[in-house]
């Protein structure tokens, strides 16, 4: 990721006094587990279990954690693509779960989701220009005769050429396909983009180009991002604030620089130990966690991380650590802190 050229996070976050664009409060998203002939509910997958976060206009919030930690479900629930079980979500001051389907449809263009693999959401028989332009038609945001020009503009903003408009998805490389995914979201002129692992499938050099594109678009269009990744080195370059999730819960949240300089939770420290340092003589000691992330159907008692934590003690098995502020804007859930 050494080719990334980005402004300091403090420069991105010049809007701390503004009303939040996205405010998630005590969000829970549970999925029923059914069993038997009568398909009875025998338990719940607690994918998201009491998460709160705030993103102001122009900011980027990085949500990190291993696969299965519930990050993607937070993203989908935040824009009402998945139903919540409890809690509140406000988008630009509007209670997203308390509006009519018509109002929600009117808001949809302002909240867009970018996937890890845009290829899977593209019809192989539909030309890129039509795939990007159809959202404009669906939402009635442009007359048909303007669509081609609008698509060419957005392709150019995303680093693609105007002749790409008539090509099919299989004619593009992985990085170009992600640019197409970004163009599809961008054509609706959104305020908020939820980017779910948008660079994890790409080579490192291409990752840097796409991260730079995200940054450039944020500067030129004032976009706000919820950036989801399993890799702290990806969010390091783009985010104002970082939240670390484990098994549906937030275990640490802090401004980017604070989190990288003073990580407090053992899980954050383990994730950070995997981030390469660009100076070869400085080596981080790698912390390898034992075992896999437990099942969210039956999470461990007390601190959910106790089955893998090198510092676990009896209290960790019995008592849930509170998520509390230990320094300005720095919150953590651990009995040791
Ligand atoms: Fe480890 Fe205990 Fe802290 Fe959980 S509460 S992270 S098990 S020390």
Averages of pLDDT over each 10 residues, the chain, 337 residues: 47 58 97 86 90 96 93 96 96 96 95 84 90 90 90 95 92 91 95 93 88 94 95 88 96 96 95 75 72 86 95 95 95 96
Any ligand 1 atom below 6 A from CB of 304: no
Cα 18 to Cα 139: distance, rounded to the nearest angstrom: 29
Q: Which two tokens stand for residue 194?
A: 């939820």
Residue 317 Cα, ligand 1 centroid: separation in angstroms?
9
- Give the length of the chain: 337
Task: Name 148's Cβ contacts closer than 8 Å, sequence gap at least 6.
Answer: 129, 133, 165
Name the DSSP class of 114: E
Cα 57 to Cα 21: distance, rounded to the nearest angstrom: 6
pLDDT for residue 284: 66
pLDDT for residue 282: 59
pLDDT for residue 195: 96
pTM above threshold 0.85: yes
pLDDT for residue 190: 96
Closest-CA residue, ligand 1 atom 7, reads: 306
CB atoms within 10 A of CB 82: 16
pLDDT for residue 6: 46
Residue 25 Cα, ligand 1 centroid: separation in angstroms?
24
Helices 128-138 and 144-157 meet at what angle, rounded to 10?
Answer: 120
pLDDT for residue 11: 43
Residue 306 Cα, ligand 1 centroid: separation in angstroms?
6
Ramachandran angles phi, psi of 261, nearest 5°: -85, -40
Nearest atom in ligand 1 to the alpha carbon of residue 304 is 4
Cα angle: 67, vertex 229, 98; to 5 degrees: 90
Cα 62 to Cα 35: distance, rounded to the nearest angstrom: 36
Residue with tokens 């490389």: 173
Cα 126 to Cα 139: distance, rounded to the nearest angstrom: 19
Any ligand 1 atom below 6 A from CB of 21: no
pLDDT for residue 1: 52
């Amino acid at each position: 990721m050494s080719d990334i050229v980005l402004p300091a996070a403090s420069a991105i976050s010049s809007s701390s006094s503004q009303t939040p664009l996205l405010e998630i409060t005590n969000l829970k998203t549970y999925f029923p587990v059914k069993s038997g002939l009568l398909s009875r509910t025998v338990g719940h997958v607690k994918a998201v279990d009491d998460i709160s976060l705030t993103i102001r206009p122009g900011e980027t919030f990085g949500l990190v954690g291993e696969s299965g930690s519930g990050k993607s479900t937070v993203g989908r629930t935040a824009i009402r693509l998945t139903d919540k079980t409890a809690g509140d979500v406000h988008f630009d001051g509007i209670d997203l779960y308390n509006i009519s389907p018509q109002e929600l449809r009117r808001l949809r263009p302002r909240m867009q989701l970018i996937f890890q693999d845009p290829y899977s959401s593209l019809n192989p028989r539909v030309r890129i220009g039509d795939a990007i332009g159809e959202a404009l038609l669906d939402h009635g945001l442009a007359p048909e005769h303007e669509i081609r020009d609008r698509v060419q503009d957005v392709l150019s903003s995303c680093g693609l050429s105007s002749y790409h408009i008539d090509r099919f998805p299989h004619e593009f490389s992985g990085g170009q396909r992600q640019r197409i995914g970004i163009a599809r979201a961008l054509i609706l002129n959104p305020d908020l983009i939820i980017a779910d692992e948008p660079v994890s499938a790409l080579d490192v050099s291409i990752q840097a180009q796409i991260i730079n594109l995200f940054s450039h678009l944020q500067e030129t269009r004032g976009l706000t991002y919820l950036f989801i990744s399993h890799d702290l080195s990806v969010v390091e370059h783009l985010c104002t604030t970082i939240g670390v999730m484990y098994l549906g819960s937030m275990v640490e949240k802090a401004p980017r620089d604070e989190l990288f300089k003073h990580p407090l939770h053992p899980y954050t420290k383990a994730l950070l130990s995997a981030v390469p340092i660009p100076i070869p003589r400085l080596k981080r000691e790698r912390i390898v966690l034992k075992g896999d992330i437990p099942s969210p159907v039956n999470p461990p008692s007390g601190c959910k991380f106790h089955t893998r934590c090198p510092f676990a003690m009896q209290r960790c098995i019995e008592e849930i650590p509170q998520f509390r502020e230990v320094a300005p804007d720095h919150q953590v859930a651990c009995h040791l802190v």
